[in-house]
Amino acid sequence: MSDGASTEPNGGRGGPREGRGPRREGAGREEHTAREEPQAAAEDRPGPPARRPAYFRIGFVGALGVLVAWLMVQALVGVRGVLVYIVVALFVAVGLNPVIEFLRSRARLPRWLAILVVCLALVAFTAVFVWAIVPPLTEQVASLAAGLPAMIDDLQKNAFFADLNERYDLLDRLQGAVADPDVGRQLFGGLVGVGQVVVNSVVASFTIFILTLFFMASLHGILDVCYRLVPASRRTGVREIGDEIVLRIGAFIAGELVVAAITGVVAFLFFWAVGSSYALTLGLVVGVTALIPLVGTTIGAVVAAMAMTLVDPWLGLFTLAFFLVYQQIESYVISPRVMRRAVHVSPTANITAALVGGAMMGLVGALLAIPVAASLTIILNKVVFPRLEEA
């Protein structure tokens, strides 16, 4: 009995343990099958229909973006003249900044007084230039008008011109053209156009002068605002590069002004030595044209040689030869010494920048192209090339 009783409970406990494993496996398979059935049904069930793209909305937003871009381009074209004034004034302010810093460090002047001295010097130079150009030009025009009848009489006495007059009736055609009322209207329109150009030039010069004054007074503040637009993690490096660009561009423009001043002084001494009555006028013309990159000195030399040729052809040829020799001295002796603090730009980059700038913005673009090329050279040397070497 005891053996049977002891065996039965064990057998009873052992029986369910042996049968519990297969039941659990079967239940697991049934549960897994039950979970798969809804998933299969969900996969077989058709989903919601795909939404069609809103073509109208996409087209409307795209057309609106194109319209906004076109309006912005038109606005920039409308204010192009003002933007040119701002850019020119900013470059002039940067170029005159070394002079202001020199007056502050050497003459111990406050910044506002140094700016005032520079502005007074610019006004004085402009006044001297106008005084030296306008009276001789007016005198020459009046002399030409007064001597025109005598010139016509001399032409009539000339055998060659008399022969041409007999063949083609030049004097009769000239008198008829002068008596034509359309010629008077065209001449008046031309004079009005010239007057309009002069007025526009005066207004532009005055505007650039005022903008330059403000930019010189607030140059450091403008730079600080520009640097604050850069993230703080990169601000130190950008400030270093920006300060160097401003320094180099200032040295470049100041050096160009010094070279042009030396050229003007040399031209004045030359014309004074040869006995020209317009030595100061021609010297100022040569000095101002020397500011034009690459070809400025050549243009001034040609203008001066033509003016001297009217007095004496041999003197005009001698003037041209003198300036050709001086241009070589300027290129290889004067400019390297004056521009040693400025950034060095390759001659190919100078020519390319001047041509591109001149094609885009005329004379102003040619004047500003080389400082822009100098800025790009600094960025390439300080940022781009080091990163390429590290890569």
82: amino acid identity, one letter: V
Please count the other Cβ atoms lying within 10 Å of the Cβ belonging to residue 118: 19
Please count the other Cβ atoms lying within 10 Å of the Cβ belonging to residue 348: 8
> Which mean pLDDT values do the consecutive 10-residue runs of the chain (391 residues) have?
44 46 49 52 53 75 90 86 86 86 86 89 86 79 71 70 72 63 58 71 86 88 88 86 84 83 91 86 88 81 85 86 89 78 69 81 78 83 84 70
What's the DSSP call for residue 342? S
SS3 108: coil
For position 5, what pLDDT does the model report?
44
340: phi then psi, degrees, rounded to nearest 5: -70, -25
For position 322, what pLDDT does the model report?
92
209: phi then psi, degrees, rounded to nearest 5: -65, -45
For position 388, what pLDDT does the model report?
85
For position 353, what pLDDT does the model report?
81
For position 51, what pLDDT does the model report?
65
CB 305 within 8 A of CB 320: yes
